[in-house]
Homo-oligomer: A and B are copies of this chain.
Amino acid sequence: MVSAPDPAVVDLLGLVAYGELLAFDRLAADARLAPDLRRRAALCEMAAAEIAHYRWIAGRITALGASPDEAMARYAEALEAYHDSTEPKDWPEAVTKAYVGDAITDDFLREIADGLAEPDRRLILDVLHDSRYAEFAAAEIRAAIAADPRVADRLSMWARRLVGEALSQAGRVAAADRGALTTLIARREGVDVPALFRRLTEAHSARMTAAGLNN
């Protein structure tokens, strides 16, 4: 007999799944901004990886006896609002968005995974982004800055806007998810939420510096 699925876990998986479906869509569109076919293909591959991960997560939601469509639907508005408000207008903005957004998402999911039972813990860790994509994006950002040092300021401002929009939409996600993420975070033994945010912020700052951007 299958026991009733943990609603907080289904909600989390729904959020991750829709995040991946949308990331695919936007990366596929952003790929057109690439200056050559090699770079375009690289962004298309990043998009394709999101879909492979989407499939795993949707499969797990189904295995838990829930509907992926329903689990995803409640996040549509907030996640689409994030992407609509952060549409890159050129290639350096597109790779910066992938670089900044993927890493923050991954850091956050890594923290959440700690509070999950198996196999969901492992599944969440398995859908984190491949580090070679981050290396590709960071190299593109550094190359854009090397070609024109003034780009550093513009992209740094763009990265701050990305974080600001993500935080503002995170509030809408929290409102939509019936407390699932809060529940999962609070479930971890002795969790220190301010320390968690500090870790996320410090890791983001270190990544900005590594790519030649300022905080």
Question: Which residues of A come within 8 Å of B, CB atoms?
Answer: 18, 21, 24-25, 28-29, 31-32, 36-38, 40-41, 44-45, 47-48, 51-52, 54-55, 58, 68-69, 72-73
Contacts and interface: CB of A to CB of B under 8 A. Distances in A.
A58 B72 CA distance: 35
A94 to B, nearest CB: 14
A69 B28 contact: no
Contacts of A40: 21
Number of copies: 2
- Taking chain A's interface residues, is the majority helix, strand, or loop, or is none over half, making it mixed? helix
A175 to B, nearest CB: 21
A31 B38 CA distance: 24
Nearest to A51: B48
Contacts of A24: 28, 44, 47-48
Contacts of A37: 18, 21, 68-69, 72-73
Contact of A54 (B44, B54, B55, B69): B44
Contacts of A55: 41, 45
A147 B41 CA distance: 38
Nearest to A70: B37
Given A21-B40, A37-B21, A41-B21, A47 B68 contact: no
Given A28-B28, A69-B36, A47 B41 contact: no
Contacts of A47: 24, 28, 47-48, 51
Given A21-B37, A24-B44, A37-B72, 15 more contacts: A21-B41, A24-B47, A24-B48, A25-B28, A25-B32, A25-B44, A28-B28, A28-B29, A29-B29, A36-B69, A41-B51, A41-B55, A41-B58, A44-B51, A47-B47
